[in-house]
Amino acid sequence: MSILTWAISANIENSIIEFLRDKVHNQALQLLDCNGVAQNVNVYAGRELNNNWNLPLIQIYLDSKPDVQRLAIGSNKRFKSWQVIIDIRTLLSGQESNVADWIEDEINDGITIYDYTPNSINPEIPAKVIIGHGRVDFVSSLPVPEFDNADKFDQNRYRITIKIWMNS
């Protein structure tokens, strides 16, 4: 019996999250709130918005796999892409665009993709080995339309859509 844990999609999703968390941490990236107090930028995983999340935040999740072309005729090797949504939600207007610019600069050269293995002793720190480099293509980058009575999570929102490319 073999237990299937994380496959490539989960590995790619988590590699991006870990990459951005490291960048935020290493640069001690913060944004000011309406009182002029600096707030940490948080990076969260998941399609569903969680009301317990703290703003400002970067929400990341794998959305789809739009490309699965063959690398060559007669080969079962595929040139695949993984499409990832990055939703940015900030406390003050204008900050969402600044964070978007920062993210685009940081991920422009691609990211290291790891293969993660669950760690039962310390689940927060799974074991990992490098499996390749993911190239980044930008599919879209624009503010999300304003909503009439939006709550704090949707007042200042920006969405970046990227494709990660890897040979597999």
Report how far Cα 79 is from the mean position of its chain's Cα atoms: 21
Residues of this chain that bind other proteins (CB under 8 A): 47-49, 63-64, 66-67, 69, 81, 83, 85, 137, 139-140, 144-145, 147-151, 154, 157, 159, 161, 163
Q: Other CB atoms closer than 10 Å to residue 124's CB: what's the count? A: 5
Q: Which amino acid, 5?
A: T
H or E stretch at 97: helix 95-107
Nearest approach in angstroms of CB 110 to other proteins is 17
**Hey, is 165 helix, strand or coil?**
strand
- Segment (H or E) for 61: strand 57-70
Q: How far is the CB of 101 from other proteins (least distance, A)?
A: 19
Smallest gap from residue 64 Cβ to other proteins (A): 5
Q: Which is nearer to other proteins, 32 or 150 (CB)?
A: 150
Nearer to other proteins, 30 or 138 (CB): 138
